[in-house]
Amino acid sequence: MREELYIPVSALNAFVYCPRKFYYQYILFEHEDNYHTVLGNIVHEKIDVEAHYKEKEKYKWSSVSLKSELWGLTGKLDIMEMS
């Protein structure tokens, strides 16, 4: 499957949450930052830097990319933990 045919999980989440929001964000490409989105971007910058580490007997990975050829979805996990 060609990469451009994959649907971002974030788009699916936006559609389930509010089809109108999905339409503005993913069809019209209109998006305005607010306090929550700016704060989220700052937090993600820190998470993206710490790619792999061990904390209290748990292994953690950040920014783990996922793709499903079966479902045609792509996305990224913020944090993945394993004991």
20-79: pLDDT as tens digits: 989 998 899 988 888 888 888 787 776 666 565 666 777 888 788 899 999 999 998 877
Count of structural domains, the chain: 1
Name the strand (E) or helix (H) holding 62: strand 58-68
- pLDDT of 59-76, one tens digit each? 888 788 899 999 999 998
Pairing of strands 52-55, 7-8: unpaired
Q: What is the pTM of this model?
A: 0.62
Domain range enclosing 51: 3-82
24 near 30, Cβ under 8 Å?
yes
The backbone region for 34, taken as left when phi is positive above 0, alpha when psi lies in -120 to 50, beta otherwise, is: beta
- Neighbouring CB atoms inside 10 A of 31's CB total 11
Taking the CA of residue 6 as centre, how many other CA atoms within 13 Å lie in the half-sphere pointing to its CB? 15
